[in-house]
Amino acid sequence: MSQKILVIEDNIEMRENISDILTLASYEILTASNGREGVVLAQQNIPDLILCDIIMPELDGYGVLHILSKDKKTSDIPFIFLTAKAEKADFRIGMNLGADDYITKPFEGLDLLNVIEKRLQKNYLLKTSFQQGSLGINDITDERRQLKELNKLLENQASKTYKKKEMIFLEDRQPHELYYLKKGLVKTYKSTRDGKELVTGFLEPGSFLGYISLLKNKTYTESAVVIEEAEILSIPKQEFLSALFNNKEIAVDFIKILSNRLFDTENRMLELAYFSIRQRTAIALLQLHEQFQNSENENFLITISRKDIADLVGTATESLNRTLADFKEEGVIEIHHHGIIIREMQKLKKAII
């Protein structure tokens, strides 16, 4: 059975040219002349891959991707943008929304076929791996649900209570233990030469700390401090490394954790490089809301301090406050003495585009 590809392109000549190339390559082709029509076709036919232009009438390519990524039936379909826009900022917006690749016009037919073939093959391998229970893209979403063997390693380890603002480890110091956060909240950050902080993450119960430096046998590349009283287990370095090298399951678990951390770090660097303060603030608020909300409560309060949010965004507190004030005026958020409530989730997501 031939694989089905949906082409969403408003230029008739371009659409027909792509269709001819793909038909000769034995793909089944569906075509749409605008974004709105493309969304309907995708939801009705569930293609194996989507090629989509960015600038189109009715609904642009970013809108198409946004809608399809929110639909469970279409969220896993490989999505490739067709665009004449070669600006890095445009590229990053699409990738941040979840696009799998870009093809810049004009392109050769062979280049188009190679990109499609590789993307379809990768998607097949990921689905196959996931169905067989091996490492796949869906395994990397929540480390706390995966670490069965590591949990056994934690059973007999001593725990210590850390007070708010107490340091767990410091940047440039030598690591001697692996840390596991059982209760509380921890902030990790890097310090600049002028003493400023760049927050690299907020860790909640179920998270491991300091493992990258242990595995590389190098000094810590970041510091970790408690921001809510925490209970932390520690595993001696040699005990952890011995378990890692002698237990395949533990090694696989940490490959998953490292993959997730690498993905987050790459995204963070791209955001800092290409996104505005407004976009980065929207991303930070959405991430904090998703990470810490444990119920469907519409009045969920983000209680992370303004300074910590500013350090996460990578800007001064004053700049963050101005951006938050804009969002408040637009009715997107509410600002309270103890935190922030997101009122218009969709508007906040649109602020990223």
Q: Is the dihedral of CA 54, 55, 56, 58 positive or negative?
A: positive
**Cα distance between the two ends of the chain:** 37
Instruction: Mention every residue, 6+ apart, whose C-beta is less than 8 A from residue 200.
Output: 188, 189, 190, 222, 265, 268
* Residues 326, 292 share a domain: yes
How confident is the model at residue 353, as a pLDDT?
A: 64
* Residues 320, 228 share a domain: no
The backbone torsions φ and ψ at residue 234, rounded to the nearest 5 degrees and listed phi first, read -130, 140
Number of alpha carbons in the 13 Å side-chain half-sphere of residue 243: 18
In a domain, 269, yes or no: no
* Residues 282, 241 share a domain: no
Instruction: Mention every residue, 6+ apart, whose C-beta is less than 8 A from residue 66.
Output: 97, 349, 353
Domain boundary residue among 80, 106, 131? 131
How confident is the model at residue 245, as a pLDDT?
A: 85
Domain boundary residue among 105, 131, 157? 131
Quickly list DSSP for 226-256. EEEEEEEEEEEHHHHHHHHHH-HHHHHHHHH
> pTM of this prediction?
0.54
Domain boundary residue among 227, 259, 291? 259
What's the length of the chain?
353
Q: Output 346-352 pairs: Cβ under 8 A, ≥24 positions apart.
A: 348/282, 348/285, 348/286, 349/66, 349/282, 349/286, 351/278, 351/279, 351/282, 351/327, 352/93, 352/96, 352/97, 352/275, 352/279, 352/282, 352/283, 352/286
The C-alpha atoms of residue 12 and residue 184 are separated, in whole angstroms, by: 57
* Residues 13, 119 share a domain: yes
* Residues 99, 70 share a domain: yes
How confident is the model at residue 97, as a pLDDT?
A: 67
**Reduced 3-state DSSP string for 287-343:** HHHHHHCCCCCCCCCECCCHHHHHHHHCCCHHHHHHHHHHHHHCCCEEEECCEEEEC
Longest dimension (CA), the chain: 68
Domain count, the chain: 3
Range of the domain at 9: 4-131
Q: What is the DSSP pairing of strand 167-169 with strand 197-203?
A: unpaired
Q: Which residue is listed with tokens 């989507």?
A: 50
* Residues 80, 160 share a domain: no
* 195-230 b/e (C-beta count within 10 Å ≥ 16 → b): eebebbbbbbeebbbbbbbbeeeeebebbbbbbeeb
Per run of 10 residues, the mean pLDDT along the chain (length 353 residues) is: 90 94 94 95 95 90 89 84 66 67 86 88 57 36 51 82 96 94 94 85 89 90 95 92 83 75 69 79 90 70 92 90 93 92 88 74
The C-alpha atoms of residue 28 and residue 126 are separated, in whole angstroms, by: 22
How confident is the model at residue 307, as a pLDDT?
A: 92
pLDDT in tens, 151-163: 777 887 889 999 9
How confident is the model at residue 215, as a pLDDT?
A: 85
pLDDT in tens, 213-251: 988 889 999 999 999 999 999 999 998 888 888 887 788
The C-alpha atoms of residue 260 and residue 308 are separated, in whole angstroms, by: 22
The C-alpha atoms of residue 290 and residue 97 are separated, in whole angstroms, by: 16
How confident is the model at residue 251, as a pLDDT?
A: 81
* Residues 164, 254 share a domain: yes
In a domain, 226, yes or no: yes
